[in-house]
Amino acid sequence: MSEEILDIFTRDGKLIGAKPRSECHVKNPGFYHRPSWIWIYNSNGEILVQKRAMAKKNWPGYYDMPAAGHVESGESPLEGAIREAKEEIGLDLRPEDLTFAFEYIYDSSWELGQVYFVKCDKKAEEFKLQEKEVELVKWLSFDDFKKLLYSDAWVPYAADYKALIVKELKKILTNEL
């Protein structure tokens, strides 16, 4: 299997070329790449979380957002989000199912994270998990989600990113319920 090729950007989002994934994940590559990060909520005001498979290179066994991944070269962030949701948790999405929330510039990882929200009322056991990536998914109440997000069991994201996610999910859930 050949290595993923990712489009690379300046910090302000100007496309400057493409590089293999391994070159994007060195300590200071000097350019940014785009992941798509998908957060899923349901009509009951719950948030879906995943537990990363133990085979994962980074943060095995930690909890994380339900689906995420790199946007491949030539692919839009929306296309990448749809592909990753299908690959990781077996969720078939159409472009209109996703709401773009914001871009998060993660300087320490050289990423321009594209954050999406999706409403989905599937039961946890109905998701088809990619076993090499995801050990399990489960729905949590908003309060339980916040506790887990700020615990040592969650992938250690930047505090400002976590605060943005909590703020945006609370806003969505308040409007939905």
pTM of the model: 0.95
Q: What pLDDT score was predicted for residue 162? A: 97
The two structure tokens encoding residue 156: 């250690």
- Whole-angstrom Cα distance, residue 105 to residue 121? 30
Which has the closest alpha carbon to 32: 2, 9, 52, 66?
9
Per-residue pLDDT of the chain (177 residues; tens, 9 = 90+): 689 999 999 999 999 999 999 999 999 999 999 999 999 999 999 999 999 999 999 999 999 999 999 999 999 999 999 999 999 999 999 999 999 999 999 999 999 999 999 999 999 999 999 999 999 999 999 999 999 999 999 999 999 999 999 999 999 999 876
Domain ranges of the chain: 5-176
CATH code for 5-176?
Answer: 3.90.79.10
pLDDT at site 176: 72
What was the pLDDT predicted at 151?
98
How far apart, in whole angstroms, are the C-alpha atoms of residue 48 and residue 126? Answer: 12
Kindly tell me the burial class for residue 144, based on how many C-beta atoms sit within 10 Å of its own C-beta (0-12, 13-18, 19 or more): middle
C-alpha 72/C-alpha 8 separation (Å) is 10
